[in-house]
Amino acid sequence: MDLYAEYERAVRSFDAGDPLGAVRALAPVVAAEPDNSSVRLLLARAYYHSAQLRRAEEQLRWLIDRDPADHYAHFVLGRTLERLGRPGQALPHLRMAVAMRPLVDYTDALRRVEARAVGSRGPRR
């Protein structure tokens, strides 16, 4: 099996809006190259876009454990945790992403999750 061809097929599937196709194409690549961060990031994104959020979380935590300075992995993990209804757990990752790279998408997500986290605490006494 040509792993690079499978990876390229996964990228094409993902870019065409078929994250499940990307997941299927990546399975043998991840099995053969379990330490490849690029492959795992694409797999995490495919899981995220196919609403397999716990699987996305698992891949993203692996990536962050391997490279804590990966701002994009922190951002996507924050968004994943937000979608899972865990804003308190999302905040540190979104804050880290913004601190490392203050992109508009990152800051917008952080503001949204901060507002949600404050709102979920209820009124202060």
Claim to verify: residue 38 and residue 60 sit in the same structural domain:
yes
Give the span between the Cα atoms of 63 and 30, in whole angstroms. 13
48 membership: H or E segment, kind and range = helix 37-49
Claim to verify: residue 121 and residue 96 sit in the same structural domain:
yes
Is residue 78 within 8 A of residue 107, CB to CB? The reply is no
Residue ending a domain, among 67, 82, 102, is 67
Claim to verify: residue 74 and residue 42 sit in the same structural domain:
no
Residues 6 or more apart whose Cβ sits within 8 Å of residue 118: none
91 membership: H or E segment, kind and range = helix 87-100
Is residue 96 within 8 A of residue 75, CB to CB? The reply is no
Q: What is the pLDDT of residue 124?
A: 46
Low-confidence ranges of the chain (pLDDT < 50): 124-125
What is the domain range of residue 84? Answer: 68-125
Claim to verify: residue 43 and residue 95 sit in the same structural domain:
no
Give the span between the Cα atoms of 71 and 73, in whole angstroms. 6
Q: What is the pLDDT of residue 120?
A: 67
Q: What is the pLDDT of residue 78?
A: 98
> CB under 8 Å, gap of 24 or more: what pairs does 31-35 form?
32/1, 32/3, 33/3
Q: Per the structure, how many domains does the chain have?
A: 2
Q: Is the whole model's pTM more than 0.85, yes or no?
A: yes
Claim to verify: residue 45 and residue 58 sit in the same structural domain:
yes
CA 69, 70, 71 angle in degrees (round to 5)?
Answer: 100
